[in-house]
Structure 1
């Protein structure tokens, strides 16, 4: 007895192979849980179909019909998220947002698609939510009918899933624009530092961890930020955050040489500091000064 069939339109042989690969992997899991199930693939020029059949009675099965629908829904969800999601996401992004610059639009799209792949952190929350909505939608369809046409499902039954993608697109566009603005401002600061005359021969930047910094002069005495009403400094104060007050102070004192002592050289704020001050800056993970203040550590190579 045929239990269900899943079909989808395909344009290329690669699409057929992807459908077969993903669902073959999932059907192995299904078959392990219920040996009575049998699966088959069939394909025409523009369509591929996955069918599942099983012997009655249901009482002889090692899984319930409901569990079978759940597991099948997860399998089809995996296919949509791997093979179809980026196409759906790109269509939604370009229908929701207008871009004046084609190159920038392409970069934002790539940023958006990269975020969609992340399964951890804030983007991972979106990933889990989309996966859950897709799986629930497919499960409902299989409850209504054992024949599922994925083209129709993706056209008419994806409202809540597409809303998730819209929210993700908004997040991606906002994050990209903020990142661009920050990069442009960091470049401005680097340009400003390049032409600024040094006011102090040496500054030690002691990074104690997280957002905790200590600034010392060449004699290891604390540095207080001088008042400076310059345009760049005013904008820096307005736009940058807690750790960026360190950047503001360093630009104001304009060291000829700056040593950043840290045990976390890969942190964005450390990388940004080194980038802004360029050849004036060096990063140290083990020297007499930072060993005394931060404990033993490793030397940057």
Structure 2
């Protein structure tokens, strides 16, 4: 007897083969010899599909087959439809038309969906989406033996689509913030480029976390009108220490800035390097910064022990 049939538009033979592969991977584990899955066509409606038939009457076993089929369909949807749904949302619902912007937002979205378990997306989130899709198909197949895959995804997976929509919205916010940040960095880079140097050298000593000291070429503290002492400690949470450091460096306008740090991957360090470009040199250990920042090798040894 026919257990269920999954239909797709004719011309989707490649996709049908992929769906067939996902189904068979799940159904093989049941080891039911009488269960047969084969590709069928319906020329009048221009459809091509997968028809699942078997020669059993065990209702409990039939439910297991549907459950496995639902999981196989869900794997197929995640692999073949998710990116297309995301791209369609970006274009149709958020009116992005420029290819580069669409691609970047799509990348942001997929990155969020693929993030580690401790963050927004990750393996557990993907597993949950798969279970959500599988349950929707299983429930439908229990009542209706035939389903059009494209139509079902479009009209029935509302909760899944809404979750993707929320992630797309978050990704767009991230993209716009990053775009504004890059535009601001570009403006500061231009300002540094056209500004005449006021001092030959500045040494930025990063003592750890948000603690910085700015020294001149003789390794003496630099006084500025903006900050009387350049030791930034985040006592007042409203003060953006990154803006303060960048503003001070631009004010003193060194021809060359040496950034001494044991944490080169910190965002503020990357920002300064971006703004000052070839005028900035990164140092993680030298004879001049060791008295201020300590011996990096000793710190590493003490951490290891």
Normalised by the length of structure 2, the TM-score is 0.75
Aligned position for 1:179 = 178
Contact persistence 1:214–1:222 (CA under 8 A): no
Pair 186,202 (structure 1): closer, same or farther in 2 beyond 3 Å:
same
Contact persistence 1:36–1:54 (CA under 8 A): no
Query: Which structure 2 residues correspond to residues 198-277 of structure 1 after superposition, within 5 A?
Result: 198-208=197-207, 211-217=209-215, 218-223=217-222, 226-227=225-226, 241-277=240-276
SS of the aligned residue for 1:206 comes to strand
SS of the aligned residue for 2:255 comes to coil
- In structure 2, the gaps of 5 or more residues are 228-238, 298-305
Query: Which structure 2 residues correspond to residues 6-85 of structure 1 after superposition, within 5 A?
Result: 6-24=6-24, 26-27=25-26, 30-32=27-29, 34-36=30-32, 38-44=35-41, 46-49=47-50, 51=52, 53=54, 55-57=56-58, 66-85=63-82
Pair 8,284 (structure 1): closer, same or farther in 2 beyond 3 Å:
same
Shift of residue 75, structure 1, vs aligned partner: 1.8
Pair 74,276 (structure 1): closer, same or farther in 2 beyond 3 Å:
same
Shift of residue 183, structure 1, vs aligned partner: 0.8
SS of the aligned residue for 2:199 comes to coil
Deviations 1:252-286 (A, max 9, x none): 22222111223443444333211210121011222
Shift of residue 167, structure 1, vs aligned partner: 1.7
Aligned equivalents of 2:286, 2:142: Cα separation in 1 = 67
SS of the aligned residue for 2:247 comes to helix
Pair 226,4 (structure 1): closer, same or farther in 2 beyond 3 Å:
farther
Stretch of structure 1 that moved more, 192-201 or 112-121: 112-121
Contact persistence 1:8–1:47 (CA under 8 A): yes
Contact persistence 1:9–1:46 (CA under 8 A): yes
Aligned equivalents of 1:160, 1:256: Cα separation in 2 = 57
Normalised by the length of structure 1, the TM-score is 0.76
SS of the aligned residue for 1:41 comes to strand
Deviations 1:106-144 (A, max 9, x none): 223212322236421424486555444323322322333
Pair 46,242 (structure 1): closer, same or farther in 2 beyond 3 Å:
farther
Pair 113,18 (structure 1): closer, same or farther in 2 beyond 3 Å:
farther
Pair 147,264 (structure 1): closer, same or farther in 2 beyond 3 Å:
farther
| Residue of structure 2 aligned with 1:98, choices 87, 95, 98 | 95
Aligned equivalents of 1:123, 1:284: Cα separation in 2 = 36
Aligned equivalents of 1:267, 1:92: Cα separation in 2 = 34
Contact persistence 2:16–2:50 (CA under 8 A): no
Pair 3,17 (structure 1): closer, same or farther in 2 beyond 3 Å:
closer
Aligned equivalents of 1:221, 1:43: Cα separation in 2 = 82
Pair 141,197 (structure 1): closer, same or farther in 2 beyond 3 Å:
same
Aligned position for 1:231 = none
- In structure 1, the gaps of 5 or more residues are 229-239
Aligned position for 2:139 = 140
RMSD: 3.2
Aligned equivalents of 1:52, 1:172: Cα separation in 2 = 43
Contact persistence 1:201–1:255 (CA under 8 A): yes
Aligned position for 1:279 = 278
Aligned equivalents of 1:220, 1:50: Cα separation in 2 = 79
